[in-house]
Structure 1
């Protein structure tokens, strides 16, 4: 039996947006993935805790983002254990739980170039294949290029930081996020004070 091919798209998802959907769909299509699991970080070690929305809000937004897409699934493994969420620990745990699955970790170009700073990266690249999303016409620079499948995705200039600002200042966010995510943010006034 062929191994199932699963892509993992991790992030703070604060908020999740259409760029995440496009990235996941393109990785799935171009790399022949069976599913993409969206994995919100519980306690991202590289982000200040007070600068990130509460985990329950980020989980709910991610859930609403992918709710109608059969190929996408929510993965809450990092909320099931305490402490900082290091990708190497998460992937070891996933490999133990799903030994017949081939895992791919989907990252953007900025993460590719910072890969050498990830915790226990030499160990991590031996247990997971990275899918690096390139900006059209831009080449990666990384000592781990031989461990990365490079794919090109249409340039979507949306960031969660930009969206938080747009919500805070009540600027247009239509089509940047799904209606379900936008409604959740507005009803709960998530970015009014930050």
Structure 2
């Protein structure tokens, strides 16, 4: 694989929505990445499997959402793995697939980044991948900045913080609105909205 700078967006994407896509495009532009790889989780360690929509349907929605952007792609390696998914295992597997010089930029929110030390093999993870922490422009988080400085200095980590506008869109909100019979138009791509209703997702 020729791509040298790849952004990684992991998540359940249940469903994918405009905030996901905006974050991905922002990272792509800010860091001059070659592409963004969306990786839907198989069995995330922090969520109960029975509350996650079937993987095939989540992949279908991802395909619909990214098909118009040639720099957005999808990898199903975590779903194919068939066991609890850890980021370190995913990065190691991607290293085997892409050229040796490929740089991986793991994109995440500031809330998740606060707990990075609890992740499996986090010290190794900080060495083999660069981290992109998305934070809301309205927040001024001294603790986040302090953590980034510490990990950069003590763990030789490469961490980039990007400020983005506050977008109050989440998969949880979308699922709740569908269940309650409220509209979800303009929260996610129209073709994904159609897929949700055509397949009766989130109704119960």
* 1:86-125 map, 5 Å: 86-98=86-98, 99-125=100-126
- Structure 1: 5+ residue runs without aligned partners? none
**1:6–1:33 CA contact under 8 A, matched in 2:** yes
Deviations 1:22-60 (A, max 9, x none): 000000111111100111001111100111111111111
- Rounded to whole Å, the distance in 1 between the matches of 2:12 and 2:194 is 19
Aligned-pair distance for 1:103? 0.6
Asked whether the equivalents of residues 112 and 142 of structure 1 are also in contact (C-alpha less than 8 Å), the reply is: no
The answer to whether residue 68 in structure 2 is matched with residue 68 in structure 1 is yes
- Which region of structure 1 is more displaced relative to structure 2, 82-91 or 135-144? 135-144
C-alpha contact (below 8 Å) 2:64/2:192 kept by paired residues: yes
Q: CA RMSD in A?
A: 1.5
TM-score (norm 1): 0.94
Moved over 6 A (4+): none
Distance 2:176 2:147 in 1: 31
| 1:134-149 correspondence runs (5 A) | 134-136=135-137, 137-139=139-141, 140=144, 142=147, 145-146=151-152, 147=157, 148-149=159-160
Residue 82 of structure 1 deviates from its aligned partner by 2.3
